[in-house]
Amino acid sequence: MAAKRWTKVHTDSPPPTRVLYLAGWGRSGSTLAEGMLDQVPGLVGVGEIKFLWERGLLQNRRCSCGTPLRSCEFWVEVLHEAFGRVPDDDELRELDEASRRFRTRHLPGLLLRPTHPPDAGELRWYYTVLADLYRAVAKVSGADVVVDSSKFPSYLTALLQAPGLDVRVAHIVRDPRAVAYSWQRHKEDPDAPNGELMPRMHPACTALYWSAWNLATERIARRAALPYLRFRYEDLIAAPDATLRAVTRLSGVPAAAVPVGDRGELFAHRTHQVSGNPVRFRSGPVRLRLDDEWTTGMAPRHRRLTGAVTVPLRHRYGYRDS
């Protein structure tokens, strides 16, 4: 395999690289949470690393710093540290193909066998590549913990196979009715090719995915005995300091307050996030405001449908009927 040609051979046993994995179904606030965590000393947020090979390098989409990824000084240095160079397109396609083994369609199997990755032996080279990549991110950034918001439960099983990674799971959840409403909205993606909009999904599909995705995340963390914390998007907005202190304790770095102004404003610094919600491109003051437009804008039939499909897990997470 081409990827084997640029996988490092280690002559020593480097210390484990801590990875704080932000899990949860899409549109639950992970990009905002990661941007806030990136401001905590010792943590570095780098977005959805699962999509580094395709969206980041093959498509050369922008890093959240605004620079196309192949030109971003941070990522170029990371790739040189990990592999000695930027991989060529054939190698990137091979890595992307390996990454695609860990997709949403594996959810049924993960619910039955939560820590069993597909083709574990065949993909050993890929797990070594991941270990080298996360180790390089930590070294280049100078951080103690790499924050990855890839979210996929299936990709979490890949990280568990990577040698030398100390994985902790911060599981963010949001009221499924708010999530379903967000997936219905027409949203621009300023980084998508050909001016494409962000994908949309029917509330029934969103409700099913929300339930299965979150349940699979719980089961993987429990079966693998991973350090795990579940927190709510609504609590992150209402009590950002307390919520982030709990997450940073999970990551193993000293808890530190994120500077939120008296008017509930956070100053967003430039980050180096790969893929994710367009909010990652924002810089300057950002108002921490609960996005509850769904309470008035969501069609009643969609609200009832989403609520009914998600009721067992929704109630357990503290989201009651309203």
Note the pLDDT of residue 120.
Answer: 61
pLDDT tens series, the chain, 322 aa: 455 555 565 556 789 999 999 999 999 999 999 999 999 999 999 999 999 999 999 999 999 999 999 999 999 999 999 999 999 999 999 999 999 988 777 667 666 666 656 566 789 999 999 999 999 999 999 999 999 999 999 999 999 999 999 999 999 999 999 999 999 987 777 777 777 778 899 999 999 999 999 999 999 999 999 999 999 999 999 999 899 999 999 999 987 777 776 667 788 888 999 998 888 888 888 888 999 999 999 999 999 999 999 999 999 999 998 7
Q: Is 315 exposed, middle or buried (0-12, 13-18, 19+ CB in 10 A)?
A: exposed
User: How many whole angstroms separate alpha carbon 128 and alpha carbon 124?
Assistant: 6
Note the pLDDT of residue 106.
Answer: 67
User: How many whole angstroms separate alpha carbon 78 and alpha carbon 86?
Assistant: 9
Note the pLDDT of residue 163.
Answer: 96
189 and 157 in contact (C-beta within 8 Å)? no
List the Cα angle 39/287/33 in 5-degree steps: 40
pTM score, two decimals? 0.93
DSSP 66: S
User: How many whole angstroms separate alpha carbon 73 and alpha carbon 21?
Assistant: 24
Note the pLDDT of residue 262.
Answer: 65
List the Cα angle 51/53/56 in 5-degree steps: 70
Cα-Cα-Cα-Cα torsion 279, 280, 285, 289, nearest 10 degrees, comes to 40
Note the pLDDT of residue 1.
Answer: 41
